[in-house]
């Protein structure tokens, strides 16, 4: 025969388990929504930066078509390498391990091409580090 006080003795444990289960369920829902928002923001930032580099490459290629001697062969090679990196970027595979490596290579190549041309172009998109974020004024 079961003791009538058994349910009272396990009351705290029962409420603790129910609270944990409810919190876990709510946390999953909130975590998915937060993850979605972060993913949209980061995806937009990456797309914006890739679009900037794509635009620069398109303009430079147009100049090369009009005047093939306008840029040195070294600059033209750098532009071609940038184009290849942009095409190689796995836009539809955000979990691909090479995304950061490709983006770093693209940024480096962009700076090298700009320096070779003597141009003072830079991508003024979202800040990449906390020290840059502190420089933004509202």
Q: What is the pLDDT of residues 35-47, one digit of tens each?
A: 888 888 888 888 8
Closest CA to 122 of 130, 132, 113, 134: 113
Q: What is the pLDDT of residues 82-135, one digit of tens each?
A: 999 999 999 888 788 888 899 999 999 999 999 998 888 877 775 554 444 444
At residue 57, the pLDDT reads 95
pLDDT at 75 over 50: yes
Q: What is the pLDDT of residues 5-19, one digit of tens each?
A: 666 667 778 888 888
Q: How many CA atoms lie within 13 A of 12 on its CB side?
A: 1
d(CA 24, CA 26): 6
């Amino acid at each position: 025969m079961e003791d009538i006080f058994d349910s009272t003795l396990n009351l705290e444990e029962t409420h603790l388990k129910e609270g944990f289960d409810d919190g876990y369920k709510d946390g999953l829902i909130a975590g998915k929504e937060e993850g979605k928002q972060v993913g949209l923001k980061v995806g937009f930032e990456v797309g914006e930066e890739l679009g900037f580099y794509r635009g620069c490459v398109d303009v430079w290629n147009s100049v090369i078509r009009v005047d093939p001697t306008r840029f040195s062969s070294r600059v033209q090679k750098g532009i071609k390498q940038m184009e290849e990196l942009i095409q190689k970027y796995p836009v539809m595979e955000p979990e691909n391990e090479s995304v950061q490596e490709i983006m770093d290579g693209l940024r480096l190549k962009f700076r090298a091409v700009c320096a070779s041309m003597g141009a003072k172009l830079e991508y003024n998109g979202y800040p990449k580090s906390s020290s840059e974020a502190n420089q933004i004024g509202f």
